[in-house]
């Protein structure tokens, strides 16, 4: 049994440690997204007729609610049939091999389709670093689609060539779903290929084999 003075000493030490470390511990502000809208809404054919890109210049985006953001992300690669069925088709039935990052004003996040959550990867607003189109940082959120080579490596055929092709096909499906969900929710978006890839890799801390494929600024 430690003596009373030993316990007091340990307690003081722990208290000092907490006071010393607390300012240096920047706790991650992950975002639990509200449940996405998965029913009702505009009909498919009305939505197809509305699908379009916001104009290149002079766009002013208004804020986007977390509810709408959640619905957009779910449309892009959410689960729609238990734990192994998604809103977009996946080669070999793999889990999503394209990641979606979300650059916001208060930080940058990675979307987790499994638990409908945004995991903070930095507290930095990187929207202005992504590329040359001046309207991109004006959006409340910019979606960034990148490869996930960890998952792509599980493809059993075709090597590197198939990995790249399949990732591009998946980005096409995901971004079309974003366009359609945006049209149904009266939001504005645009597919953007032009970007500063090195800056995006750095901003997202991507591994050496991963690369960004597309951006989609999105807002009301």
Ligand X SMILES: Cc1cc2nc3c(=O)[nH]c(=O)nc-3n(C[C@H](O)[C@H](O)[C@H](O)COP(=O)(O)O)c2cc1C
Tokens 């009702």, residue located? 40
Least distance in angstroms from the C-beta of 138 to ligand X: 13
CA atoms of 143 and 146, how far apart (whole Å): 10
Of 20 and 45, the one with the shorter C-beta distance to ligand X is: 45
Least distance in angstroms from the C-beta of 105 to ligand X: 21
Q: Which two three-digit tokens encode residue 160?
A: 């590197």
Of 12 and 52, the one with the shorter C-beta distance to ligand X is: 52
Of 15 and 48, the one with the shorter C-beta distance to ligand X is: 48
CA atoms of 149 and 198, how far apart (whole Å): 17
DSSP 105: S
Residues that bind ligand X (CB under 6 A): 52-53, 56, 133, 190-194
Of 122 and 196, the one with the shorter C-beta distance to ligand X is: 196
Candidates 111, 71, 97, 116; CA nearest to 173 is 97
Least distance in angstroms from the C-beta of 202 to ligand X: 20
Name the phi and psi angles at 104, rounded to 5. -120, 180
Least distance in angstroms from the C-beta of 127 to ligand X: 15
């Amino acid at each position: 049994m430690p003596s009373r003075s030993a316990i007091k000493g340990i307690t003081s030490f722990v208290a000092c440690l907490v006071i010393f470390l607390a300012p240096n511990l920047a706790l991650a502000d992950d975002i639990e997204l509200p449940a996405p809208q998965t029913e009702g809404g505009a009909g498919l054919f009305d939505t197809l007729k509305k699908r379009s890109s916001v104009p290149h210049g002079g766009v002013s985006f208004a804020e986007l609610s977390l509810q709408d953001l959640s619905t957009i992300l779910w449309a892009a690669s959410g689960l729609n049939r238990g734990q192994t069925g998604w809103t977009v088709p996946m080669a070999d039935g793999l889990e999503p091999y394209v990641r979606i990052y979300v650059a916001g004003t208060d930080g940058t996040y990675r979307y987790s389709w499994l638990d409908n959550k945004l995991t903070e990867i930095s507290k930095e607003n990187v929207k202005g670093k992504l590329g040359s189109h001046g309207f991109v940082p004006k959006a409340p959120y910019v979606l960034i689609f990148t490869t996930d080579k960890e998952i792509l490596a599980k493809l059993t055929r075709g090597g590197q060539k198939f990995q790249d092709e399949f990732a591009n096909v998946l980005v096409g499906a995901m971004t079309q779903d974003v366009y359609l969900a945006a049209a149904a929710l009266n939001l504005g978006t645009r597919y953007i290929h032009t970007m500063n890839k090195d800056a995006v890799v750095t901003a997202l801390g991507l591994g050496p084999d991963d690369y960004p494929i597309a951006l989609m600024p999105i807002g009301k």
